[in-house]
Structure 1
Amino acid sequence: MLWKTLLLAAAAAFALPVAESVVLCYYESWAIYRMGEGKVTVDDLDPFACTHYLYAFAGLNNDHTIKVGDPWADLCNGGGHCGYKKFTDMKAQNNNLLTLLSVGGWSVGSPPFSLMTATPATRAAFITSAINLLRTHNFDGLDVSWLYPALNGGAPQDRDNFVHLLRELEEAMTSHGMMVTVSVAPTEEIASKAYDIPGISQYVHFVSVMTYNFHGPWDPYTHHHSALYPFIEDTGNNFYFNMNEAIRYWLMNGMPAQKMVLGMPMFGRCWSLNTVTDTGYYAPASAPPSPPGPWTLQWGFMSYAEICKAQKEYGWTIAKEAGCNEPYTYHLPSNRIWCSYEDRDSVAIKAKYAAGEGLAGLMVWSINDDDAHGFCSGRKFDLTLTLLDAFNAASQ
């Protein structure tokens, strides 16, 4: 394949290692602002837990150049936290590690990307600025997390302009020994409008399919947000809201398996149950979402670390639906909280699935939501390390 030839050539020319197994781990720079035991800094990361680390997020300036997302967290200037430097310095501990900067994310949205990709001149301004920033801070490439082309305030021409950006970006990045990755929506409902899949496939090294958030407290009933396969009672669109159907869609529409990585959430989606008597899938949950976790402070959301710590300290019930691989957990005395999430067994099953489908590997969103301090199992980043071990074992 052309992308492998280019990456190997770049690696030889610029001494960049090429990993056999791929585990791409996003790190949210704002995790440094969490309180108490929930705080996760770059210093807490394990350089050997992932093959690629992605620093989230950079943004876009009004002149279409790349923008440092949080100068105080990312840079050393003026007593900053030196996030970029510490992040890329992890390579001194692990010579095989690659570090990328991710641009975009939900808070950036679609309109800035639409404007930046609209003309060759605006794309060139972005690409030149991105390469300068990456080289200054010793990153090995750029991840584009545009959510989503042609949607969320985007323009119809975004679909084609995204491919133009990736083609021009890949050409420029390869000449500097750098790589290009993207993160994409999993479902046909979004992907069919947002992406020229065969076009994208020509110009990226890896595509992270965000196979999570299939369900959440926006639904008036409970369900698993990152199921591998359909639940026996799933009908209509719900039958397709799972990892296997998403990967099948991307494969059938032109994305090579060896470029895809399966997205793995280190977080749970949480509801408040209507009653204490119905606690399985499709249990009524039309009340407001569950209260925020103590560290992530988001309604209807808890990190794996928050969930496993609550289970350990407060005795939350853990269950699985018949025929499903993933757990859910609930605590009826406490606002009737119900969360779908991943555990060690479920991530191992999904790592084996990815290997069996010939995928390049897995993506973690986000490693700072894993058990970063080893509260639950005694092993820091237990889910991420389990993914890596299981994928390597299944790929032998």
Structure 2
Amino acid sequence: MRAKLIPLVAALAFTPALASEVVGYYPGWKHEAFPVSAVDASRLTMALYAFVDLCWDGKHGNPEPSVNYVVACQEPLNGALAWRNEAEDSANLRALVALKKQHPQFKVVISVGGWDWSNRFSNVAASAPARANFIASTLKAMRQYGLDGVDLDWEYPGEAGVPCVAGEVCARPEDRQNFITWARELRAAFDTAGQQDGKHYTITIAAGANGNYVGDGAWVKELSRSLDWINIMAYDYHMPWEKSTGHHAALYADPKDPVMANGFYASGSVQRYLSAGVTADKLVLGVPFYGYGWKGCAAGPDGDGQYQPCAGGVTDGINGGNSYGYGMVLAKPGKRFRNVAAKVPYLYDAAGQVWITYEDPESLQEKAGYIKQQGLRGAMFWELSADDSEHQMLRTLWNSMK
């Protein structure tokens, strides 16, 4: 009887959850300032552990000098997982998995790649042996730590976000088709392992939100067949290296936005995927728990600094950059405004000439409403440590989704 029950359990595990997903990234490198004990697993369906690298030529894969780890891989095979810091990652993952005991809806998944660590995806996807090494290495990690799946954060197929050094290859014209092949092989292996283990191993991706990523849509529709869902990174539509201010995560188009025609807003991104034939239940809308700031911004005719020229990005944000976690935004001086068309907040400090685009609980409620209206799978956010000390953003997102 037991031999016959295992496939039944596995088959039941494959049924998609009816409840909306609330998926948050946990940045492993921030574990000292934001330990796993600070994670509110009662309001998450999944934590994506960021990030794990890929091994290539026996070392961490990224060949860009400023972010390259010139250290040996723990498993020196092309395509195998390469941990940022094996001892720290292991401790973090075990602590996250332990939270599942009290919170049965909570899953833990490793996210591979990210902006800095996507440079070897093209090589791995193009190589059958490297794809096989990745699959074997990932399944080993799933079973070793009690994980629930993998998130592939390739930025981006066909167009590497972080450029390669001379002599290296980071992107190929066939990347999209190779990604489809890789995901198909991973799906088959995960399904087989799931039948053996009596559970379902998820496969998700972090996907670009603009037209360049989706293209004609045919490839992403085919890719989605092997995925549990696609996490659309519906943020960073405007960035502080631009010469004028703009909303980085608008929900809807604002006619006043000079680049509105480019579809740089969340609902436009969702519609790209739906138009491509990706079903709504395989789309998760990404939202930011952070904002961006500009300095030297003119007040403009409305006195709010919106869509106005600036001197550049601020330098008092996270790690001396131009990014602010929501808790940091709350502490900034200035007057707070709302863009009624785009459904997002912004802040302008006239005295300091600082303009900040960000997300807040009210704009999250708007996006949760859109997610439910469109029948999407749920919401994803970057990232847990960017919330304020009261977890206002996560609480709002969870309550709005559930």
For 2:30, the equivalent position in structure 1 comes to 31
For 1:139, the equivalent position in structure 2 comes to 147
Partners of 2:109 and 2:8 in 1: CA distance? 17
Q: Is 1:190 the equivalent of 2:207?
A: no
Which of 323, 326, 348 is the equivalent residue of 1:301?
323
1:299-349 CA distances to partner (integer Å, 9 max, x unpaired)? 2211111111x14xxx43111234331110133444x22111111111001
For 1:69, the equivalent position in structure 2 comes to 84
Q: Is 1:48 the equivalent of 2:58?
A: no
For 1:377, the equivalent position in structure 2 comes to none
* 1:1-396 correspondence runs (5 A): 10=10, 12=12, 18=17, 20-33=19-32, 39-62=33-56, 63-75=78-90, 82-110=91-119, 112-152=120-160, 153-177=170-194, 178-192=201-215, 196-236=219-259, 238-276=261-299, 278-285=303-310, 287-293=311-317, 296-308=318-330, 310-311=331-332, 315-334=333-352, 336-371=353-388, 373-374=389-390, 381-392=391-402
Letter of the structure 2 residue corresponding to residue 43 of structure 1: S
Partners of 2:229 and 2:39 in 1: CA distance? 22
Partners of 2:243 and 2:304 in 1: CA distance? 13
Shift of 1:239: 4.7
Partners of 1:337 and 1:11 in 2: CA distance? 54
Determine if contact 1:149/1:159 at 8 Å carries over to the other structure. Answer: yes
Determine if contact 2:217/2:276 at 8 Å carries over to the other structure. Answer: no
Partners of 1:280 and 1:176 in 2: CA distance? 54
Partners of 2:338 and 2:368 in 1: CA distance? 19
Letter of the structure 2 residue corresponding to residue 290 of structure 1: V
- CA spacing shift, 1:129–1:91, aligned 2, 3 Å: same
Determine if contact 1:149/1:194 at 8 Å carries over to the other structure. Answer: no
Partners of 1:320 and 1:66 in 2: CA distance? 44
Partners of 2:229 and 2:10 in 1: CA distance? 15
Partners of 1:195 and 1:70 in 2: CA distance? 38
1:242-281 CA distances to partner (integer Å, 9 max, x unpaired)? 0111101111012110010000100002111333555332
- CA spacing shift, 1:194–1:8, aligned 2, 3 Å: farther
Determine if contact 1:11/1:17 at 8 Å carries over to the other structure. Answer: no
Shift of 1:70: 2.5
Secondary structure at the aligned position of 1:58 is classed as strand
Determine if contact 1:25/1:364 at 8 Å carries over to the other structure. Answer: yes
Determine if contact 1:159/1:195 at 8 Å carries over to the other structure. Answer: no
Partners of 2:304 and 2:220 in 1: CA distance? 39
Query: Identity over the aligned pairs, expressed in percent?
Result: 29
Secondary structure at the aligned position of 2:319 is classed as coil
Secondary structure at the aligned position of 2:313 is classed as coil
Q: Bigger CA drift: 163-172 or 183-192?
A: 183-192
- CA spacing shift, 1:366–1:320, aligned 2, 3 Å: same
For 1:3, the equivalent position in structure 2 comes to none
Shift of 1:57: 0.6
Aligned residues: 358
Where in structure 2 are there 5+ consecutive unaligned residues? 1-6, 57-77, 161-169, 195-200
Letter of the structure 1 residue corresponding to residue 315 of structure 2: P
Determine if contact 1:267/1:341 at 8 Å carries over to the other structure. Answer: yes
Secondary structure at the aligned position of 2:204 is classed as strand
- CA spacing shift, 1:162–1:298, aligned 2, 3 Å: farther
Partners of 2:258 and 2:377 in 1: CA distance? 30
Secondary structure at the aligned position of 1:302 is classed as strand
Letter of the structure 1 residue corresponding to residue 365 of structure 2: A
Report the aligned-residue RMSD. 2.2
Secondary structure at the aligned position of 1:134 is classed as helix
Secondary structure at the aligned position of 2:22 is classed as strand
Q: TM-score, normalised by structure 1?
A: 0.85
Q: Bigger CA drift: 50-59 or 226-235?
A: 226-235
- CA spacing shift, 1:347–1:27, aligned 2, 3 Å: same
